[in-house]
Amino acid sequence: MAHGQHATRRAEKGHFDHDRPCKRAAWVAGSIGLVTVIAGTGHLVGVVSAAVNQHKPFDFRLVSLIAIGGMLLYAGLLNLGVSRWLRRGRPWAFAMSTSGTIALLAYAILLMFMKTPPDPTDPFAGASSTALGLATMESICLAFLLAGWSSLRGRQRA
C-alpha cells in the first residue's frame, strides 16, 4: 500500500498523526542548528586565525566578528540541544528554540543593513548576502517552530 493511501486511511479512521508538525519542527530546527554550528565554528576559527596571523589588534571590529560566530554557535547549539524535546512536543523546548531563533534572526537582519568599506581582496566583505541567507534559514526554522507550537496549542484545547 502506498504511503499516501495509508495516511488517507488513517485519517479516515481518525488516527491522523498530530505529532507530525512537532516532528517536522524538530527535524528543521536540528538540521538548521547543525548548519549554524558548523558555520559559527568555521567563522570563529577563520576570524581568530586571520587575526593572529595578521597581528590584528583586539579592537571593536575583532570583537564584533567574534560575536557573530558566538551568536551562530549559541542559536545552533540551542536548536540542536532541544530538537529531541521538540519532537516529543514539549512546550518549553518550543519556547527556548523560538527565542534563540528570533534572537539570531534579529541579529542577521541587523547585519544585512551593516555598511562596510569595500575590500577587493575579500569577496565577503559586504556580507549582506550571507546575512540574507542566514535570515532566510532562521525564518524557515521559525515558521516550522510556530506551526509545531500551534499544533500543540490545538491539541491542548481539544
What does the alpha-carbon distance between residue 120 and residue 41 come to, in Å, rounded to a whole number? 25
Structure confidence by residue, pLDDT tens digits, 72-115: 999 999 999 999 999 999 999 999 999 999 999 999 998 888 76
What does the alpha-carbon distance between residue 148 and residue 125 come to, in Å, rounded to a whole number? 37
Q: Could you give the residue ranges of the DSSP H alpha helices within 2-127?
A: 3-12, 20-53, 60-87, 91-112
Domain segments of the chain as ranges: 19-157
State the pTM of this model.
0.78
What does the alpha-carbon distance between residue 4 and residue 52 come to, in Å, rounded to a whole number? 56
What is the pLDDT, as a whole number, of residue 136?
Answer: 94
pLDDT grade for 127, boundaries at 50, 70 and 90:
low
What does the alpha-carbon distance between residue 108 and residue 131 come to, in Å, rounded to a whole number? 5
What is the pLDDT, as a whole number, of residue 55?
Answer: 87
- Model confidence at 16: pLDDT above 70: no
- Model confidence at 13: pLDDT above 60: no
